[in-house]
Amino acid sequence: MKNPAASLFSASLGAGLLIILFSCTGTPTPRLKEGNKTPPKLSSEALLLNGKEPIIRVSLFQAAPSGKIRLSSVGSAQVTTLAGDLIMEMPSIAESAVLSSTTGFAIEGYPEFEVDQVILIPQNDADLTVNGIRYHGRLHLSHSPDGLISAVNFVPLDTYLGGVLGSEVILSWPVASLQANAIASRSYALYQMLQRQDEPADVVSDTRDQVYRGMERESESARAIVQQTHGVVLHYNGKPFPAYFSSSCGGHTTDASTGLDRAGWAPLSPVKCGFCDESRYFRWNFAVQKGEIAALLSRSGHSVGVIQDIRPVGRGVDGRARTVQIEHSKGQLSLKATEFRHIMGTGKLRSTSFDTKDSGDELVFSGNGWGHGVGLCQWGTKGMASAGYTAEFILNHYYPGAKLAEIY
Ligand SMILES: [Zn+2]
């Protein structure tokens, strides 16, 4: 731990962190002796050399039209090529649009770049403002032949996590809960960095990955939690895995194939939670007109008649439906429960753990929890930390079989 005073681990882990080698084979190195702070040697994976904190690439805009991206910087900034050759120095950037055409792109008021990708580097660790949000780090801008522009924030992983934590959790929660969330977020991000090395960015800045609004949600307390867990990630048999999390599981988590239609990892096996009943969506009801359901289904390409009944099918111990059976005046429709939830709206049908009740023109959905229910239950971490459990214990509970390692 970089900050022993704020150690999050119980004595068992503090006795010696398992430092792993993220090699192609995933073979763990032997446990290092206590006090050995030699950085772990990390594979040929280019992002993670020499145990240094990696830089994550966060996509802010993908294929935006000319003028949509607006930049400003109070301090000076350099614009370079990808190879680092200086294109121009800017004393500061008054709010300016990034303009493009089919021949090239430019920052408003400046000459067109002669390359299709540039890096903006604020000097003296200053920040850049993109569409009203301030960001640490650098900004990669690229231009496609059809005149569209993409913007990617290059930022140290823990700096990114400081912004994520402020968006993803409630910072007044107990420290162990926040530490568990920070480690899960770092582990998720690291996994995506390794998976997406050949893509233009590692993560997007919304709920498709983790919500990141630059410095807007960053705070002293978020930074402190990230620092206490600096470089600590989850792994399973030496390999990083996508440490998914959701707001509240409603009593029982589910596996990745049920919750997310993704291949399973052992640490993403369902577990009983029992700690998230403080969430306001631990139990919920949602009434909706049958006609509206039919309209939503039609809009999604499923032509149906008058809705007669909707039933969740295949609810396992996790309470989640695998499929949803829809009876209507023209026949029957069977949909994957996750697809049905997305059609209804994930902020309304808050999970696939639900039952239905006919109420005339309306159908009432009664359900448990909010989110896909895979991996860590965020409200559950609050409940467990309030009951006195450590971050390590909480993570072991929600990711069975996973272990912690300090990789930078
Ligand atoms: Zn839960």
Q: Ligand 1 mean position to 351 CA, how many Å?
A: 12
What are the residue ranges in the chain where pLDDT is below 50? Answer: 1-49
Which residues are in the CB-under-5-Å shell of ion ligand 1?
249, 273, 276, 377, 380
CA of 394 to the centre of ligand 1 (A): 11
pTM to 2 decimals?
A: 0.85
What are residue 384's phi and psi, to 5 degrees?
-70, -40
- For residue 251, what is the enclosing H or E element? none
User: Is there a contact between 259 and 378 (Cβ–Cβ < 8 Å)?
Assistant: no
Label the pairing between strands 362-368 and 354-359.
Answer: antiparallel
State residue 1's pLDDT score: 36
Q: Which residues pair with 118 in a beta bridge?
A: 141
Q: What are the backbone dihedrals phi and psi of residue 185, each rounded to the nearest 5 degrees, phi first? A: -65, -40
> Ligand 1 centre and the CA of 294: distance in Å?
32
SS3 39: coil
How many whole angstroms separate alpha carbon 292 and alpha carbon 285?
Answer: 16
Break the chain down into helix, strand, coil percent, rounded to 5. Answer: 25, 30, 45
Rounded to 10 deg, the angle between the 175-195 and 378-386 helix axes is 150
- Say what the pLDDT of residue 50 is: 65
| Alpha carbon of 246 to ligand 1 centroid (Å) | 9
For residue 316, how far is its CA from the centre of ligand 1 (angstroms)? 16
Q: Report yes or no: 169 and 376 within 8 Å, Cβ to Cβ.
A: no
Give the N- to C-terminal CA distance of the chain in Å, as an integer.
Answer: 10
CA distance 54 to 211: 19
Contact 406, 229 (CB under 8 A): no
Distance 249 CA to ligand 1 centre (A): 4
User: What H or E segment, with its residue span, contains residue 394?
Assistant: helix 391-398
Q: Among 246, 158, 174, 238, which Cα is nearest to 8's?
A: 174
Distance from residue 269's CA to the centre of ligand 1 (Å): 14
> What pLDDT, on the 0 to 100 scale, is given for residue 102?
80
| The pLDDT of residue 258 | 83
DSSP 112-177: PPSSSEEEEEEGGG--EEETTEEESSEEEEEE-TTS-EEEEEEEEHHHHHHHHHHHHS-TTS-HHH
Strand, coil or helix: 309: strand
Backbone angles phi, psi at 391, to 5 degrees: -60, -40
